[in-house]
Amino acid sequence: MHIFQNFEKAVDERKRALKELKRVIKERTEENAGLTKELEELNVSVNERRNIHEVNGMLFNYLHMLYFPPFAFDLTIELNLYSISLDFHMCT
């Protein structure tokens, strides 16, 4: 009878450990889902900031060309939803 009780006790301990592991897995899955969403939002923010800095750089270059022109040029500005491009062409 003593051996059977030890076996039942070991089985109960394993069941408790399994239940605890399932709980931890569920918690980690929920945490990972939240972190994934946060990471996506941060990625969007980084891309928006990159676009802003690129536009600021292009505008700075444009203004610099206006105030300190090394040569005569034509300016083409192309706008779309996600970007702005400025093209400078030398006039001959």
Q: Where are the domains of the chain?
A: 2-90
pLDDT at 5: 78
The pLDDT score that the predictor gives to residue 29 is 94
Question: What's the rounded Cα separation, in Å, for the pair 66 and 38?
Answer: 42
Mean pLDDT of 86-91: 56
User: Using one digit for the tens of pLDDT, what is the confidence trace for 5-64?
Assistant: 788 888 999 999 999 999 999 999 999 999 999 988 888 888 888 888 888 888 887 777
- pLDDT given for residue 72 in this prediction: 54
Question: Which stretches of 1-92 are assigned E, i.e. beta strand?
Answer: 73-79, 84-90
Q: What is the pLDDT of residue 17?
A: 95
Q: Judging by beta carbons within 10 Å of its beta carbon (0-12, 13-18, 19+), is residue 56 exposed, middle or buried?
A: exposed
Burial zone of 86 (CB within 10 Å; 0-12 exposed, 13-18 middle, 19+ buried): middle
